[in-house]
Amino acid sequence: MRLFYLPLQLCLLGFIAAMLAPNSRAQETKLLPEKVLPSQADEEKLPGEGQLRRYDRYLARWHEARSMWAGQIQQDQKAVVFLGDSITQGWGEDFKGKFPGVKLANRGIGGDTTRGMLIRLEEDVLSLNPSAIFLLMGTNDIEIGVEPEAIARNVQKILASIKQKYPVVPVVLCRIFPSSASKKRPVETIKQVNALLDGNVRGDKQVTLVDTWALFADANGDARAEFFPDMLHLNAAGYDRWAGALRPVMATLGLTETEADKFDLEPEFVSLFNGRDLTGWGFRPTPPRNPPKNPKPDAPVFVDIAEAQSFQGKLESSDGRYRAINGRLVVTTPAEGRRIQQLWTEKEFGEDFVLRLQFRATPNADSGVFIREPQLQCRDYLLAGPYNQLKQFKEGDWNDLEVTVKDGVAVATCNGELLTDNMKVPATGPIGLEGDRGQIEYRRIRIKKL
């Protein structure tokens, strides 16, 4: 039988007292080391903050799952690892078939807290030499009364441990899902913790933040009952929605959609994006803006470009915000939280035309398409607006945008539904894309003269 040893600090703590014969070192040394939670008396010696949970089902899952995972360390090498609590555990071992072709490892334990995840991080996650790490954590801390600042510090320590061992492995942090005060998870506390987590990763280019709170919150900030029957755990439709939010991020990280997008142009249309690089696109000079004296934490950062820049043959813009990836022009999630940057075609268009493209947005993402100069808001419409009543919009999937410019007026539709029919535009100008928050992808960008 193969033996799996705990980290040195846990070995020194020993096992639960009930499992050991009192005052018998001979018997103690014969016991097989197991994935058991150290005794309550030894808890203060462990890293992190907040009381560890000790109800029977949690302890059983901690022992059984971690013993099983110890035997899978070799086979799970280079996996994409999901670390979390019962919501992550609910993906199952096959992740409900939502991410085909991706090697995955589920390290969710029902009832776990950020401290519990910190304690088991090395063995359950870092030992796998992961290709990427997806994190969702904190809701159980709130339920048992751990202070928001302590939750944030635990997450900060988890991120620091990841970065120390794997300074370039991508990390995806999901905001804590909404729940309900009836579950001892009031909206105000969840928002407070999420704001602290946002602050933890602001400016950190290794971490991508996904707004999974907005994805599932109702008008009052509580969990939407159609996805959370018990106001805490996802149903099948909820996992579908979460998967849709993560797939675009996985594609940008190179975990999925690794083949080039294949598309045949319609007659008379000309492509504005070759799918391989940013040829034909660049930055234009912009007038300097005066930053606010007391900006809010989530206030957008405006990028002022002093000189025009051309990205002929380049895979990404000079600041890395815009990237060409397998047929997709990706406006990446800004590390600052919100960062306004604009990319323009080098060519201007003075004739009447039809512009067609497809776009895909992560939850609550905000972008825009410039038609010669004015901006048509291009967002995760149902969450970010302004067109939040669309019936055909596909969250986490590709949507068709069509803009017809004739006699100085633009008419725009999304999947055939009208967005605007009276947008006035100048006589000539370029086509542009803007990034603000979240990730937006564009593809099949093409134009036809009328």
DSSP letters for 343-390: EEESS---S-EEEEEEEEE-TT-EEEEEESSSEEEEE-HHHH-SSTT-
Nearest alpha carbon to residue 445 among 409, 407, 411, 398: 398
Q: What is the rounded (10 degree) CA torsion for 293, 339, 446, 377? A: -60
Give the type of residue at 342: Q
Under 8 Å between Cβ of 242 and 215: yes
- Would you state the structure tokens that stand for residue 226, as one six-digit string? 């159609």
- Contact at 8 Å (CB) between 81 and 135? no
Q: Which residues are paired to 18 by β-bridges?
A: none
Per-residue pLDDT at 29: 27
Task: Catalogue all structural domains in the chain, each as residue range(s) with its CATH number.
Answer: 47-252 (3.40.50.1110), 270-449 (2.60.120.560)
Q: Are 116 and 109 in contact (CB under 8 A)?
A: yes
Q: How far apart are the first and last CA of the chain?
A: 75
**Region at 385 (left for phi over 0; alpha for psi -120 to 50; beta for the rest):** left
Separation of alpha carbons 26 and 196, rounded Å: 48
Question: What is the reported pLDDT for 34?
Answer: 52
Residue with tokens 């799918």: 275
- Per-residue tens of pLDDT for the chain, all 450 residues: 333 333 434 333 333 333 333 333 233 222 233 577 877 778 888 999 999 999 999 999 999 999 999 999 999 999 999 999 999 999 999 999 999 999 999 999 999 999 999 999 999 999 999 999 999 999 999 999 999 999 999 999 999 999 999 999 999 999 999 999 999 999 999 999 999 999 999 999 999 999 999 999 999 999 999 999 999 999 999 999 999 999 999 999 999 999 999 999 999 999 999 999 999 999 999 888 887 777 887 889 999 998 999 999 999 999 999 999 999 999 999 999 999 999 999 999 999 999 999 999 999 999 999 999 999 999 999 999 999 999 999 999 999 999 999 999 999 999 999 999 999 999 999 999 999 999 999 999 999 999
Q: Strand pairing partners for 226?
A: none
Q: What is the pTM of this model?
A: 0.90
pLDDT score of 26: 30
Query: E-assigned strands of 19-89?
Result: 80-84
Name the token pair of 41: 């008396």
Distance CA 40, CA 43 (A): 5
- Residue 124 tokens, joined: 């359950």
Q: Can you say how many angstroms the Cα of residue 402 is from the centroid of all Cα atoms in its chain?
A: 28
The rounded distance, in Å, linking the Cα atoms of 393 and 412 is 14
Q: Based on C-alpha coordinates, what's the Rg of the chain?
A: 25
Asked if residues 397 and 421 have their Cβ atoms less than 8 Å apart, the reply is no
Shortest CA distance to 63 belongs to which of 10, 138, 24, 12? 10
> H helices within 135-186, ranges in order?
139-143, 148-165
Locus of tokens 């990427």? 132
Residue 283, strand partner residues: 309
Burial of 409 (0-12, 13-18, 19+ CB in 10 A): middle
Fill in the DSSP letter of residue 31: S
Q: Bin 144: left if φ > 0, else alpha if -120 < ψ < 50, else beta.
A: alpha
Q: Quick check: bond before 386 cis, omega within 30? A: yes
- Single out the residue of 133, 181, 176 nearest to residue 151, CA to CA: 176
- Residue 230 is predicted with a pLDDT of 97
